[in-house]
Amino acid sequence: MYRKIIRLSCLLLSAAGLFAQGSFFLKSGDTVVFYGDSITDQRLYTTFAETYAVTRFPNLDLKFVHSGWGGDRVSGGGGGPIDVRLTRDVYPYRPTVMTIMLGMNDGRYRTFDQELFDTYAAGVKSIVKNVKSTIPGIRIMLIEPSPYDDVTRPPLFTDGYNAVLVRYGKFLRELARSESLSTADLNSSVVEELGKANTIDPEGAKKLLPDRVHPGAGGHLLMAKALLKSWNAPATVTVVEIDTASGIAARSENTNVTGLKVESAISWDQADKALPMPLDMKDAGVALAVRSSDVIQALNQELLRVGPLPAMRYRLKIDGEDLGVFTKEQLSDGINLAVLPSTPMLKQAAEVHAITLRHNNIHFVRWRQVQVPLEPALAHKQAAMDALDALDSDLIQQQHAAAQPKPHHYELTPEGAQ
C-alpha cells in the first residue's frame, strides 16, 4: 500500500511545491509565540509546526514558545485576565511573530449571539492594539478558530456551532486586511478533510476530534498542515534524479549528490539540506488524517527518480539499511522517501521531534507549575525558574544540532544480485 502512496505523491509534486526557502514566513532570528486557548494548550499543532520548521530549515535560528491556556477567551481566563496573560505569557519573550487563536470559548457553544460576537470582536481588536503598541514591528497572525465537529455527529442546533466559528473567522480576515496582519484558516480545510475521513472510516473520523472540540494527534496534524501552508511552507525536502544513461545526477534540489557510480549496482552519496517531516503512521488518527488530506503532497516530498534501468526490480539501501524492493517503473516515476517507514532521515527527524516535545514540557513546568501557582514569590522560586529556562535553552540547542542533516550512502542493487 505505501508504494502506491509513494508513486501517487510523487506524481502530484508540482512546480508550486518546489523548494523556496526565501518565501517561507519565518525568518532567521524569529521567536514565535503561539497564543490561544485549550487547543493551543494541547501543544500538538504547534509542536508539529515547530518540528517542521527546524527540520526543513535547519540553518535558521528559530525559537518557539507555547502560551495556550485552557478555557481562554479574548478577556482571558483561568490564567488571569488578558492584560496579565499578555504581560506574563507573551511580552517577556519579545516575540517577532505571534499567532492568536481564540473564539472557540467566546461563542459559548450556542447559536450565534450578536452580543457575544461584539465582545469577541472588541476583544481581538484590543489584543492586537496592545501587542502592536508593546512590540512595534511584530508580525501578528490571526488564526481562524479551529472546527467544532458538526461533521461526524449531527449538529446540536440548526446550522451547528461550527457555523458560528466560521463567522468569527470571517471577522478575523476583515480585521487582518484593515490592520495589515496575516491570517491562517484552520477551519475550512480541516472540515473538508474530516468529511473525507468520515467517508473512509466513520468511527475513526470521530476520534480526530473526540469531544468535538479538542483534536487528537490526527486532527492537530491537519491543523498544522493548514498553518504551515499559510506560512508558505515548501513541499520539497529534496529532489534527486539519476540519469543512468549519462551517468550523472541530472537534477538535485536542496541536496548535493557526489560519488555516483553506475554499474550493475548504482550507488551515490547524498548531503541533504533538510529532513522530512516525521509522521507517526502507527497512530491510527495520524494515518487516517494522512489518507484524508494532502499533507504528504503539501509538506513532505523527498523525491528520488532513477532511470533508465535494465533490471525489472531493485533493492534500495541507505547506509546499508534495507528499505525495500521497487520496480524499475516505480523508480522511473519517482518514489517519495519521506513516506518510507524507517529511513535514516526519518529516524533523525523523529529524534528532533522528541526533543521538541521535551523542551516544551520543560517550559510548561516552568510556567504552569512554578511561575504561576507559586505566588507570592518564594525564596528560591526565581532560581528554579532560571534553572528551568537554562535547561530549556540547552534542549533548544540540542534540537537545532539534532536537526542538522547527515550525509548518507545510497545503493540500488538489481533484485537477485549477490
- Per-residue pLDDT reduced to its tens digit, 231-260: 999 999 999 999 999 999 999 999 999 999
Axis-axis angle for helices 284-291, 188-200 (nearest 10)? 100
Give the model confidence (pLDDT) of 289-303 as tens digits: 999 999 999 999 999
Longest dimension (CA), the chain: 75
**Total Cβ atoms within 10 A of residue 337:** 24
Interval 161-167 mean pLDDT = 98
End-to-end CA distance of the chain: 27
Residue 234: per-residue pLDDT: 98
Average pLDDT of the residues in 140-157: 98
Report how far residue 251's alpha carbon sits from residue 155's, in angstroms, rounded to the nearest whole number: 51
Q: Provide the CB-side half-sphere exposure for 387 (13 A, CA).
A: 7
The Cα–Cα gap between 335 and 327 comes to: 10
How many C-beta neighbours within 10 Å does residue 391 have? Answer: 16
Give the 3-state secondary structure of residue 58.
coil
In the block, residue with C-alpha cell 523548494 = 19
Distance CA 251, CA 378 (A): 61
Q: Which helix (H) or strand (E) holds 87?
A: helix 82-89
pLDDT of 44 > 80? The answer is yes
**Rounded Cα distance, 175 and 204, in Å:** 36
Instruction: Walk me through the domains of the chain, giving residue ranges and CATH numbers.
Output: 26-230 (3.40.50.1110)
- Inter-residue contact 215 to 164 (CB < 8 Å): no
Cell of 129: 492594539
Provide the mean pLDDT of the chain: 94
Q: Which residues contact 122 (CB under 8 A, 6 or more apart)?
A: 74
**The predicted structure's pLDDT at residue 417:** 52
Ramachandran quadrant class, 310 (left: phi over 0; alpha: psi -120 to 50; beta: rest): alpha
Is the pLDDT at 6 greater than 50? The verdict is no
Mean pLDDT of 125-153: 98
Q: How far apart are CA 27 and CA 184, in angstroms?
A: 18
Using the predicted structure, report yes or no on whether residue 316 has a pLDDT greater than 90: yes
114 by Cβ neighbours in 10 Å (0-12 / 13-18 / 19+) ranks as: exposed
Is residue 99 within 8 Å of 35, Cβ to Cβ?
Answer: yes
Total Cβ atoms within 10 A of residue 135: 18
C-alpha–C-alpha distance, residues 190 and 270, integer Å: 36
Residue-by-residue DSSP string for 295-333:
HHHHH-EEEEEEE--SSSEEEEEETTEEEEEEEHHHHHH
Give the tens place of pLDDT for each residue, 372-418: 999 777 999 999 999 999 999 999 999 999 999 999 999 999 997 54
**81 conformational bin, left if phi > 0, alpha if psi -120 to 50, beta if neither:** beta
The residues, any chain, with a CB within 8 Å of residue 277's CB and separated by 6 or more, are 48, 51, 52, 55, 56, 237, 299, 300, 338, 349
* DSSP result, 363-395: HHIIIIIIITTS-SPPTTHHHHHHHHHHHHHHH
